[in-house]
Chain A
């Protein structure tokens, strides 16, 4: 288990060094986007250059506006499998190198990680207040037409983490190992307890 402190997007070239099991802390700008935003960002007539090369965080935060300023009150990860099929084209279109979420990507998304030399990192599910404590500044609110929960944000963060790499660009997948192990244990467990 190695620990990486990355500044994005400057350190993007180092990202392929990170492997499943490593821990990351990310500083810089991150893009917050979930279901409908992925769909929208992939529309042929939409391209937002400032999102290029930035990590994408699967999250629908709770935000409050004070005067002109937005404050994020809660912002933990949402389940990433819902964005699975949309991930490879997003990685390609926006040259994204880090996907942050929870629960891992499915088989389609994992192939995208390999093709685009990207990694998937988990932020602890529900650790919303911890995530918020690492936000320095809310920089932008984009695609507001998607509504308060689904729109896109850009946040400047410092040491956003701990992010645990669970799927890397070499096809390693911690969750899959855990699942395979659990399945192989099942018959003996049933025998013991039922």
Chain B
């Protein structure tokens, strides 16, 4: 495959169509499990509504949520050398789907609030580069404003204890309450520069439900944080319940001796991720 915008476009079109209307299988499974195990009536009713709605979306090929979000594409491997083509193809795909009313026109000027009408322009949609893998992949993320508005960066003191870190993360989740449309996927970036921490927290949202950090100690932290967050009882839509997060991923990076950045990204229950991987000469949607 050559990585021209023209060749990338059909794959991206398919990824966009799927991301807007269908949940990743692992996310759907996790919501079904949450529904099966939920002990609170109100939360169960909400999870039921979510499952009904998601199945209607898939059957009728209509958006999972009216907030089709901002679009982020993360590229890796050989594709990095063809950034401009990836950008052009993504722009084409997003513009065309918006025109067909498959996506809501969300992109506005930050000061005048004038809507571009196309979801294109002023650096949107964004393409990010992931150098953590050699595989050639495209990972597409649609993220609504509700969850994005609770993105959080805190530059903690380097002497902060494990308890301080837990306290901060739990407080952020409590403050977000139902506004991030839980059950969420949580991405947590620890360390790096401020921007690396935020970047890592967002990238962490792309991991499939159930995947664990390859570093055993970080994987343990993921499990304890996830249990801690779920014991808060915030629950589906913040109405109280057993599942507040479907999964939680931590990504770390080396940081300055004077710093401890902690970044948190929330994915709403509709954590709309589609992943395509280069297999031989073709991109194949693998998730």
Contact = CB atoms under 8 A, between A and B. Distances in A.
A147 B145 CA distance: 18
A108 to B, nearest CB: 16
B225 interface: yes
Contacts of A171: none
A122 B179 CA distance: 11
Top 6 closest A-B pairs, CB basis?
Answer: A130-B53, A127-B53, A74-B66, A129-B56, A125-B181, A64-B101
B42 A21 contact: yes
Contacts of A104: 177-178, 238
Contact of B163 (A81, A183, A190): A190
10 contacts: A102-B178, A103-B178, A125-B269, A126-B53, A127-B50, A129-B54, A129-B64, A148-B117, A177-B240, A192-B231
B164 to A, nearest CB: 9
Interface of B: 41-42, 45-46, 49-50, 52-54, 56-57, 60, 62-68, 100-106, 113, 115, 117, 144-146, 149, 161-163, 165-167, 170-171, 174, 177-179, 181, 224-225, 227-228, 231-235, 237-240, 268-270
Given A1-B41, A102-B237, A73 B56 contact: no
Interface of A: 1, 21, 23, 36, 59-64, 73-76, 78-79, 81, 102-104, 122, 124-133, 147-149, 162, 164, 166, 174-175, 177-179, 181-183, 185-186, 189-194
Given A129-B54, A178-B235, A164 B45 contact: yes
A103 B106 CA distance: 20
B239 A122 contact: yes
A185 B181 contact: no
A192 B223 CA distance: 13
Contacts of A131: 53
A166 B101 CA distance: 32
Given A79-B146, A129-B64, A149-B106, A103 B163 contact: no
Nearest to A81: B179
A52 to B, nearest CB: 26
Contacts of A192: 228, 231
Given A21-B42, A64-B101, A124 B233 contact: no
A81 B178 CA distance: 11
Contacts of A61: 66, 104
Contact of B237 (A21, A73, A124, A149): A124
A125 B53 contact: no
A164 B239 contact: yes
B46 A74 contact: no
Given A76-B65, A164-B239, A194-B162, A175 B178 contact: yes
A126 B181 contact: yes
A33 to B, nearest CB: 14
A128 B171 contact: no
B46 A164 contact: yes
Contacts of B64: 74, 126, 128-129
Nearest to B98: A62
Given A125-B65, A189-B170, A192-B228, 17 more contacts: A62-B104, A73-B63, A73-B102, A75-B66, A103-B146, A122-B178, A125-B269, A126-B67, A126-B269, A175-B178, A178-B240, A189-B228, A189-B232, A190-B170, A192-B231, A194-B161, A194-B165
A163 B163 CA distance: 38
Nearest to A73: B62
Nearest to B161: A194
Given A129-B60, A149-B104, A149-B106, A181 B240 contact: yes
A102 B180 CA distance: 10
A190 B179 contact: no
